[in-house]
Amino acid sequence: MSQDTAAQSGTSVAVVEETTTTAPVYGLFTRLAAETFGTFALVLAIVSTWAFNALNNGSIVTVALAAGITLLAVTAALGHVSGAHVNPAVTLGLVLSGRAPWSDLLPYWLAQLVGAALAAVVLWSVIPSGYPALIGAADKAAVMQATANGYGDHSPLAVMATRVGAEGSFTVWSALLVEILLTAVLVGVVLGTTSRRSRVTYPAVAIGLTLTALHLVSWPMTNTSVNPARSFASAIFAGGWTWGQLWLFVVAPLVGAALAALFYRAFSPLPALPGEESEESDLAAGDEDVEETDVVVVSEERDAASDATVADGTADETARREPGDDQPGTPRA
């Protein structure tokens, strides 16, 4: 077909081309290494920003942005490797929703706790010896307590009220409810935006912005956990009351994740029809490679006059055929 003929086209023909690519699935060790590094980066960003926040006039916006931007970056960088859970609650939510295998639960939790502990060690080692006195803290442990999650007399609201001679705190039940609901929101966003049925182009952006918003909302209440690994990291060197209150910031996020998974399964579309692949089928495939097929539709233009010429030529050819040619299996004379 010439270029002139294509330029004068009156009809178009859709040509479908299928391209199959193989997306690698990483082994368990690689995925655990990714989870360790990702959790390390996220927890270090959060607790270190809290620790040095006094130098920035105690701005919660700084902490919220540090948390959200770091989670966005980690999700974008490691999502294709391990899923970038970087949070025991997210891992539990993915497992309960059928999006991750049960065999990943404990290894992922262990990797996340190791990453969080490494972040605490790094922060503890870089706090200058004179920094506590600079911000009015008794020692480095008191600095770490400022990064910890707490309720009652240790909630940020209670600490602020004490400084101005007022009263105010968040009870254990209030803190429990807040952490459950906020974690359910975070895990729900993760499940919704990373689903194969989702139309979200950049899920990492939505997830990072969600964590930013949750910090802005809940920091006066509990210092914002929604992540047991993050709470564990602060308690390691803070000591004192932090260990006695740590249970809430482990239990509440896990309960919130379970609720999010329950709602996800309850309101997700019906199971795939026979012959169709469900979202869970690939995840249950273990370490095998996953094949993805891209369908590309190419439009080929055809000249109307050229179509008529082809039709006339076909008619002439039919007329020239011998009678036996129209009857398959009939021998010629």
Render pLDDT for 112-156 as a digit per residue (tens, 0 to 9).
999 999 999 999 999 998 999 888 888 999 999 989 999 998 888
Look over the chain and give the mean of its residue pLDDT values, rounded to a whole number: 81
Predicted local confidence at residue 197, as pLDDT:
80
Structure tokens at 258: 């379970």
pLDDT confidence of 10, banded at 50, 70, 90?
A: low
Predicted local confidence at residue 168, as pLDDT:
67
Residue 72 has pLDDT above 50, yes or no: yes
Domain boundaries, the chain: 3-20+290-320, 24-268
For range 214-229, the mean pLDDT: 94
For range 80-90, the mean pLDDT: 96
Predicted local confidence at residue 250, as pLDDT:
98
CA pair distance 149, 219, nearest whole angstrom: 9
Residue 276 has pLDDT above 60, yes or no: no
**CB atoms inside a 10 Å sphere around CB 163:** 8
Predicted local confidence at residue 307, as pLDDT:
52
Give me the CATH code for the 24-268 domain, please.
Answer: 1.20.1080.10
pTM over 0.85: no
